[in-house]
Amino acid sequence: MKVKDGIGLAILASMLFGSMTLAVLDALMWTPERQVKKQQEKMQVFLDTFSVGLPNSEKERLSAQPAVIAKLIEAVSELDIAFEKEQSIYSEWSKTPASTHEGVLRRLAIQAEYDKAAKGKTEAQEKSRGICRIARDTGFNEEARALGCR
């Protein structure tokens, strides 16, 4: 399909559906230079994330695999630790009696710790999701699935 054919289809789709969707806008702005730039960005994100170059062949993929798996393990482990920390703090909070002044003050202190732990868990979830997405999007889907990435 030529660029002008893609633009025609995009315009037709926007007329049929009444609005410009992201896919329509993407088709309107598609150029070979933009495609090259997207590939370069993808390569840079992969390099920044896994500290190895984006593999182009099966041999390169096999040599990059240990770095990808190590980074996935690290991200999933950090998430597990953050989750366990949050659960531990919640358990402590629930065991603290709220029937006394001291108990309520202790619960308030625990709540502050819990809020920090919950924020840490959220950050770990975002990091893990991002690393898993990059792994899946670059051909390491089985490795990501093996470590529980969705």
pLDDT tens digits, one per residue of 82-141? 999 999 999 999 999 999 999 999 999 999 999 999 999 999 999 999 999 999 999 999
- Is the pTM higher than 0.85? no
Average pLDDT, the chain: 87
* Interatomic CA distance for residues 44 and 54, integer angstroms: 8
| Number of domains composing the chain | 1
In a domain, 89, yes or no: yes
DSSP character string of 14-55: HHHHSS--HHHHHHHH--HHHHHHHHHHHHHHHHHHHSSPPP
Helix (H, G, I), strand (E, B) or coil at 148: coil
Helix (H, G, I), strand (E, B) or coil at 113: helix
In a domain, 44, yes or no: no
Six-digit token string for 106: 């202790």
In a domain, 15, yes or no: no
| Residue span of the structural domain in which 140 resides | 53-146
In a domain, 6, yes or no: no
Confidence band (pLDDT; 50, 70, 90) for 79?
very high
In a domain, 140, yes or no: yes
31 Cβ contact list (under 8 Å, min separation 6): 3
In a domain, 36, yes or no: no
